[in-house]
Amino acid sequence: MVTLEKAKKALEFSEEKAKELGIKITTAVVDEHGVVVALSKMGGAFHISPKFAFAKAHTASLLGLPSGDIAQYAEEGKPYFSINTAFGGELLIIPGGVPIKKGDAVIGGIGVGGSLDVRQDVACATAGLRAFE
């Protein structure tokens, strides 16, 4: 279960990584239904970054895969073709969202937006997973 206490800890771990990388980000933590449990936007982060963070977390939670890993299935002729336009754009195939798992069960997702290098978003989201170990 994604508790508020663990979600806040995930935000801290994610922002610690962002500070280490010298970037400003937004981190979103959602439950297994993709509902926001906690969200934090660092001062100076892009104004649109909360939308990116939520969509990446939402996608990872609902599909059980890192948001960037879905891109390979979203090409024409693949099972998730045009998923990024479905559901009013709530799902993204951009890296930076990771599922939170307990065993094999997906219990939530963490999404990060704000870096100009999505590998940094992934690193910050992955750092947030430490709260659920």
> Tens digits of per-residue pLDDT, 57-101?
999 999 999 999 988 888 888 887 888 777 777 888 999 999 999
Bigger pLDDT: 89 vs 105: 105
CATH number for region 4-132? 3.30.450.150
Banded pLDDT at 40 (limits 50, 70, 90):
very high
Alpha carbon of residue 60 to chain centroid: 7
Q: Please give the Cα distance from 133 to 127 (Å, whole number).
A: 11
Given this model, what pLDDT does residue 72 score?
87
Q: Report strand pairing: 105-113 vs 36-41.
A: unpaired
Higher pLDDT: 116 or 78? It is: 116
27: which DSSP letter? E
